[in-house]
Homo-oligomer: A and B are copies of this chain.
Amino acid sequence: MADTVSLTLDGAIATVTLEHAGKFNAMSRGMWLQLHAVFVDLQLRPGVRCVLVCGKDGHFCAGGDIAQYPDFRFDAAALRHFHEVEVWGALQAMLDCDVPIVAQIEGNCMGAGVEIASCCDLRLASASARFGAPIARLGFPMAPREAALVAQAVGSTTARAMLLAAEVLDADHMLRCGFLTRTLADKDVADAAWAMSQRIAALAPQAARLNKQTLRTLVVPNSAFAPAGQAQAAIKDIANTVPPLVGGDPYAYADSAEHREGIAAFLEKRLPRF
């Protein structure tokens, strides 16, 4: 298949590969469901001690598959289902993973790519990798809990540069802002990510699981997203708690002219007129 998320096992290391030929591994709706399924599958494999997430052919993930967007984004209920069930379902399964996750990031890491990387524990990137979420060019905001996840991982200043100014940032910036664990020469990143995975797989697995359970309670960046004593529940219920905070349905923009114009302009390969 052209668009897949695949799982391969090698001893105690599971490799999850994002693949969408010709689209720099942009996430189609089917890939989100497969990503979810892969991490549910991993819960049933106690022998796995480390997960390595990477993209095929020199890129991590260029974002969403925009060609699919006209099919569902302009209906608020369908848009909510996409973000809260399909996308967040996969990201939540990654956040629920009790095994350390290493991200091997090359080339484009945009939008969905930043979100997927934000669910990983160690992020190794090639020096030439590029990061951003320039969806303000496409006429729509980041969904609330995806924005909370990304802002927690990249920091408020970088999140604002990505979302409000559509900035695309290099690996040095992402190292400095605390998102990346390490940067490497392009030719070395795959070997380094594999070596890191082997290193982790040799450490105490029960301790790793307990550390991840503790660190998970620190993921949620603020109390609006985590009612006291309910951090785990809060992540799952965030779709219900965010709307009143932002003054209404966060997907009410679905049918707006701005949203339609942004996506139409992209697909027609022209500049949008907002």
Residues of A near any B CB (own CB < 8 A): 100, 121-123, 135-142, 144, 147-148, 151-153, 155-161, 163-166, 175-181, 196, 199-200, 202-208, 210-215, 217-232, 241-242, 244-247, 250, 253, 256, 258-259, 262, 272, 274
Contacts and interface: CB of A to CB of B under 8 A. Distances in A.
A170 to B, nearest CB: 12
Contact of A165 (B100, B210, B218, B231): B100
A256 B214 contact: no
A186 B161 CA distance: 21
A250 B148 CA distance: 27
Given A140-B204, A148-B214, A228 B221 contact: no
A224 B229 contact: yes
Contact of A142 (B137, B180, B214, B231): B214
Given A164-B203, A227-B229, 10 more contacts: A122-B160, A122-B164, A141-B210, A144-B217, A151-B218, A156-B218, A157-B179, A160-B181, A163-B215, A204-B272
Contacts of A137: 203-204
Contacts of A202: 274
